[in-house]
Homo-oligomer: A and B are copies of this chain.
Amino acid sequence: MSELTHFDEKGQAIMVDVGPKQITERLAVAHGKVYMKPETLELILRGEAKKGDVLGVSRIAGIMAAKKTPELIPLAHPLPLNSVTIEFSPDRGNSTINVEARVKVTAKTGVEMEALTAVSVTCLTIYDMLKAVDRAMVISDIKLMEKSGGRSGHFVRS
């Protein structure tokens, strides 16, 4: 089971030693989406234009969650993040809001968990703010899209 870096040779969970790794500029991009009823999506899009800013609140929640990643993911390293951004794009055809998080750091290890956590909490907050009108929303397709700056090279999802 030596392939799993979060376990030692005895199978015990460890926070892996990143001491010997290089400090480099690192980027991670993650996506996710929230499926909802078409009228719920309209409610968001109207709100963005006027007031009742579901996406504005959810963006703040996602940015703050990126900073909380080492408190949530047991074996994640605490990192001094350089930047976090959250972008939304509505998709009326599929009746979803698509969420993209981009996180950067100058450090010895990468920020894919920060990007994935930011996307997840952004989606959860969208759910929270709209659940009174659409309890059946589904959060899906949370995945890493891109990752660069580490030893493993530039990952781009195909």
Seen from chain A, the residues whose Cβ lies within 8 Å of a Cβ on chain B are: 1, 3-8, 10-19, 25, 32, 43, 46-47, 50-54, 56-57, 59-61, 63-68, 70-87, 104, 106-108, 112-113, 116-117, 120-121, 123-125, 127-133, 135-144, 147, 155, 157
Stoichiometry (number of copies): 6
Do the beta carbons of A83 and B16 come within 8 Å of each other?
Answer: yes
Question: Quick one: given A57-B75, A60-B13, A83-B16, are A133 and B50 in contact (CB under 8 Å)?
Answer: no
Contacting residues, chain B, for A18 (C-beta < 8 A) = 82-83
Do the beta carbons of A139 and B120 come within 8 Å of each other?
Answer: yes
Q: Min CB distance, A36 to chain B, in Å?
A: 11
Task: Choose among B1, B16, B47, B81 the residue that contacts A52 (Cβ–Cβ < 8 A).
Answer: B1
Do the beta carbons of B59 and A56 come within 8 Å of each other?
Answer: no
Q: Min CB distance, A26 to chain B, in Å?
A: 10
A5 to B125, CA, bound (A): 13
Q: Can you report 21 residue pairs joining A to B where beta carbons are below 8 Å apart? A: A1-B43, A4-B52, A11-B50, A12-B85, A12-B86, A14-B83, A15-B66, A53-B53, A60-B61, A61-B74, A64-B71, A67-B70, A68-B72, A72-B121, A77-B80, A78-B80, A106-B108, A112-B131, A116-B127, A137-B143, A140-B141
A37 to B82, CA, bound (A): 30
